[in-house]
Amino acid sequence: MAHDHAGMACPRCSGVKLRPVLTKQGVEIDYCDSCGGIWLDKGEIYYFSKSPKPLIKELRRAIKAAKPGMLASPKTGKPMRVTRLFDQVEIDYDPENLGIWLDPGELQQILKSSEAKLSLSLDAAAMQPSIERGADGKLNKQQLTAYAAAARALPNMFVRSASCLVMLYALLSALLIFCVEFAGLGAGVAVIIGVIIAAIQFLIGPWFMDLSLRWFYHCSFVDPGSLPEHLRNFVTRVTGARKMKFPRFGIIEDGAPNAFTYGHTPNNARIVITRGLFNLLDEDELEAVVAHEIGHATHWDMLIMTVANLVPLIAYYIYRTLIHIRSRGRDRSATARYGIALGAFVVYIISQYIVLWLSRTREYRADNFAGGVTRNPNHLSSALVKIGYGLAGQEKAKGSQKEKRSASGGRKANLEAIGALGIFDSGAARALAISSVGAAGAAGLDPEQIKGAMRWDLWNPWAKWYELNSTHPLIANRMEYLSRQAAQMGLDPLVVFDHKKPESYWDEFFVDLFVMFLPWILGLALLGAGIGLNDNRLLVLAISGFGAGMLSKTLFSYRGGAYPEMNVASLLKKVKVSGIRGVPCTIEGTVIGRGVPGLIWSEDFVIQDETGIMFLDYRQPIRIFEFLFGLLRRGQLEGERVVARGWYRRSPVPFVELKTLRGGGKTRRCYVYPLKLIFSVLLVGLGIFLTINS
C-alpha cells in the first residue's frame, strides 16, 4: 500500500517504512507492518503507563547502564544504545532524541511486566487510508474528480449575509419596541443609542486601531516600496483587477506569524502582517495570506461585520441601562423593565452567535478568494498549517532566535477588535504547536504530520464547541474546503484527511463536562436538599459541597505526581486532551518570543525544543502580577535555555500551563494550582464548621 509521506525506516527491516498507527489509548505511534515493531518518540511511553513515576526512575537508571547497540535510529539513522528495563525487557533507545524502539517480543514482555504497568493496544485498522494513491503518492484524475465532486458547496455569501443581518435587526427591532412600549424608554432614545454606537464604531475604530498598534504592538506602517518586490507586484495585480486602491501595510516587529485587516471600505483598508510571516512562509504562501486579507476587503467584510456587531453591542447596552435605572418613589415599571432587561441579554447572546456564524462564512469566502487569485489553494493550506499548527520545515529559518518569535496570543485577547478579520481566530491563537522537519524533510511539509495535527480538530468533541464560539472555522475544516477547491482546479491537494476515527471520544468529553460543573452540581444539590427538607444544616453544608467539587475538579485538571520529560512532537499526538483534561509534562527548550507578538506587557512565553515550538501560559491568581512580570521581568529570559514543568492542554490550540519555569539561574513558580487546592480545602472546612455550629 502506498503512502503519501516518506516515513521513517524500520531499524529491523531493510527498505520498509514505518507508518503512523493510533492506539486504543488515543496516541499515535509508528509501526512496522513487516516485523510488528513500534517506535515511541520521547516521552510517549508514559502515555501508556498507569504509574509513570516508577517508570521515570527506572528509565533513568536503565539509560545510565546502556551499551552500544546494532540498530540504527529511525529518526537520525545513527546507532542506538541497548539497555534493560526492570532487568527483564531489552530495549533500544536513541540517546540523541530519547526515542525508544521495541521489537514485537520486547513489546509483549514489557506489557506483561507487573513492574512496568503498561497498557498499549494497537488499532491499526483505524489508520488504514480510505483513499488509495498512486506510486507517486498523488491522486489520479478520476480520484481528483470524485474528490472534488464530493465537496460541500460554499454557502452563498450574499444570501447568508442578508439573512443574517435581517435576523439580527429583527431581533433588535423587537427589543426596541418592547423598550418603548413597556420599559418607559422613548423611541428617540432607542434610535440615538444605535446611531451613536454605529458612528463611534465605524468612524473612529480604524483610527483607534492605528494608535493602539503603534503604541502597544511595535507596529509601523510602510510605503509599498518597502514591501518585497514579489508581494508588491502581486498586490498590485490583484487590487488593480478589482479597481481598489493599494492597501496600507503595517508591519509588527515580532516573529509570530499572523495577519489581519481593518478599515472602513476596500479603498482605505489596512493590512497588518507580522515579521514572522516573512521568516516562516515562502513567497507563494505569503501572497496567499495577503490575498485572504484582500478578500475580506473586496467583500466589504469590514463594513458588514461592523454593522452586524452593532446588534449585540446595542442589546448589551440596553440590558445594562435597564438594570441600572433608578426611579423615585414607587417603581411600577420595575417588573416589566427587569423582564425586558433579561430579554435584552438573551438577544445579546443569540446575536453574538449569529455574528460568529456570519464571520465563519466570510472566512471560507476569503479563503476561496485567495485560492482563486493565487491559482493554487494549496499555498494558503500550507500557510495555515505553518501558522495554526506550526508544522514548518526549517528551510525558512532566518535570523537569530530572538527574531523568530513564534506564538500568536494567549488566553488574553490578541487584537480582539479585529479578530474576525485575521488569518485565524485571535482568541485561539495560543501557539505554533510544532515547527519540526517531518519525514518529508526540509523541502516540504509531511502530510502525515499534518493529518496528526488535524485529528484533534476533526475528532475531539471539544473542537466543535470552540469553533461554535470562534470567529473562524477550525483550520482542519478550512483545509478541507481548500483541498476540494484544489481538486476542482485539477491540482493534487496538499493533504487529504483519510484517517478513520477509532472511537467517538464523547465519553471523555462528558467526563470533562461533568468535572467542569462538579462544584455547582454538588453545591446546588445540597442547597436544594436543604430547601426541600427545610434543613438549615444542609443549606450551610452546600459550601462544603461546592468546595469538595472544586477540589475534585482541581485534582482532575492538575494531575501531578510525575511530570515526564516530553517534547512538542510527542505532546501534539495526544488526542484525549482538553482545557480541563491536562497532561503533566516537562519540556526543555529555548525562549524565542512573547506570547502576544509585539505586546510590551505580554507575560507568556514561546519556547522551541528539538522538535518544535510551544506556547507557555504563565498564570498567577492575581492578574496584576502577570502584567508586572510581563512588563518588567519577562524579557530577562529572552534567548535563555529553560525547563518548563506543567500541564499540556488544548483549547483548541496546544499550550502548556506552567507550574514552574527554570532558567537564567532562577526558578519561577505559578501559584494558581496550590491556591485552588487551599481555597477548596478551606471551603470544605468552613462548611463543616458552620454545619457543626449551626
Neighbours of 64 (CB within 10 A): 8
553: amino acid identity, one letter: K
Quick one: cell of 51? 504509574
| 246-251, long-range: CB < 8 A, 24+ apart | 247/271, 247/293, 247/294, 247/297, 248/221, 249/221, 249/222, 249/224, 249/273, 250/213, 250/219, 250/220, 250/221, 250/222, 251/219, 251/220, 251/221, 251/222, 251/275
The single residue listed with the C-alpha cell 502584567 is 627
Cis amide prior to 621 (ω within 30 degrees): no
Does a cis peptide bond (omega within 30 degrees of 0) precede residue 652? yes
Distance CA(623)–CA(619), nearest Å, equals: 8
Residue with cell 435587526: 169
- Cα dist. 280→292, 393, 447 in Å? 17, 9, 18
The answer to whether 235 and 225 are in contact (CB under 8 A) is no
The DSSP 8-state label assigned to residue 155 in this structure reads P
Amino acid making up residue 426:
S
d(CA 230, CA 113): 61
DSSP state of 627: H
Neighbours of 546 (CB within 10 A): 23
- Map grid coordinates 512496568 to a residue: 116
Is 588 catalytic? The answer is no
Strand-strand pairing, 270-274 and 259-262: antiparallel
Count of beta carbons in the 10 Å neighbourhood of residue 47: 24
The one catalytic residue among 28, 44, 285, 293: 293
Active site residues: 293
